[in-house]
A and B are shown apart, each in its own frame.
Chain A
């Protein structure tokens, strides 16, 4: 029996089969193209996470960046002033629960705390069934403006397998090729060191948009201003600190009482860059007090409440949206991959923290 008869075709098969192969093949090719399977040079979240994972230590089971941290819980007490600028439910006067995390911006969950020039605070505020998640750093500007530059910085920080440490010239070459990083590195070289998460100011760095009740968008960046006095230390004192001084300091302070930050939003004026996190806005921009973050309790990450949350900066309530800052989408996409990997590796980061 011929193929034609088996398939029950009433006409010659050549033409129809050619069309079918063409249509199905083109559909599959379009899918493969969209997936990036033809574009090995495309910058994907997977590649960024791979690069972040090669900076030393074994971040298996952990966040691939800001890998060493500690959970906290507390409340956000909104004064109501922010409700004038945004309809976000947690900006209406009231008190809302917060699950957060302090961390240092390293790729190794066992790094000594003094290795973390950048300290961060992540928050998840819940109100009216909605969430506002945010990851903020203590630097006044971000180091780069684009995902591509961020990827290059991660590559420059990767451990050279032969040498067992990063190529010392790679970061120099990166900085020379990226003059936009100068503001960040000036801060990193000159800002005084302290021994606490509590005395740091944390900044959203990326711009967002507050949407008010009449639908008008107000470009904004937000910050957490510490209500704890900073105690600076000398480089010599820093070298004498133990590996986990930040968690110890936090627990010691919280044993005595809550820690507070005033949360403010800085509103942009027309012309202020919203798409470049390396550029600060002028100091005279209006500042709105949104409320007070009250941090009450710290818990080790292994079994703490922040462990299984992704502090994706695009998880926002109605009334707040992302801006044209290209880092926001890249952060969101990259955090998702880091989250997917560590959730799949959860057994290697047991809840009682014994792997530590």
Chain B
């Protein structure tokens, strides 16, 4: 039985954690400033979002192939629901951003001369819906991440059941690994 996430899974998790949290702060910061950093933040936001989309797809594929350590039974439902929500938002947010720029008639600039094609028709009402969804879902994603963080810390500090250890990037061989079941 698997007791820990694989090295690849752990590294993907922590890399994406940094990227997604940076992305949320960049996003909320850029829409509330008129300072020169606005341009830089927007320029980072787009390629970072596409990178998160690609990594989320890689992560789902790895998860599907390798599986995950089992979670203690008492909280399986809540954990699974929040993980489904996290994965759904990690995929949806970049896709909505890309769609939104397409519907707004914006070029989807990555870097240098590289542009992504439009994936939605140029349409005012569609743009408005997607633009609203991008903000609402970003706030939901941040709230879900806070919940995930609280749960992870609870496992690490209060339950000490190995759930947190199963995702720690560098764990010594002596740390208890794998959840204690039952």
Contacts and interface: CB of A to CB of B under 8 A. Distances in A.
B34 interface: yes
| Interface size range of chain B in the complex | 35 or more
Interface in B79-125: 104-107, 109, 112-113, 115, 122-125
Main secondary structure of the interface of B (DSSP, over half): helix
A11 B158 CA distance: 6
Interface residues of A, number: 55
Given A43-B34, A44-B33, A315-B107, A332 B39 contact: yes
Interface stretch (B2-10, B61-69, B149-157): B149-157
B34 A322 contact: no
Interface stretch (A30-38, A100-108, A182-190, A285-293): A30-38
B28 to A, nearest CB: 4
B146 interface: yes
Contacts of B124: 308, 343, 346
Contacts of B123: 308
Contacts, number: 134
Contacts of B106: 310, 315
Given A36-B32, A45-B31, A332-B38, A129 B157 contact: no
A318 B112 contact: yes
Interface centre among B28, B33, B123, B150 (most CB of A within 10 A): B33
Contact of B127 (A8, A343, A347): A343
B49 to A, nearest CB: 16
A10 B158 contact: yes
The 7 closest A-B pairs by CB, nearest first: A16-B157, A330-B34, A329-B38, A346-B124, A344-B128, A16-B158, A9-B158
22 contacts: A11-B158, A11-B160, A20-B154, A23-B150, A28-B146, A31-B24, A34-B28, A34-B32, A44-B34, A45-B33, A147-B35, A308-B127, A315-B107, A317-B113, A318-B112, A329-B39, A333-B33, A333-B38, A340-B131, A343-B127, A343-B128, A346-B128
Interface of A: 7-11, 13, 15-17, 19-20, 23-24, 27-28, 30-31, 34-36, 42-46, 48, 89, 128-131, 147, 308-310, 314-315, 317-318, 322, 324, 326, 328-330, 332-334, 336, 339-340, 343-344, 346-347
Interface of B: 24-25, 28-39, 42, 72, 74-75, 104-107, 109, 112-113, 115, 122-125, 127-128, 131-132, 142, 146, 149-150, 153-154, 157-161
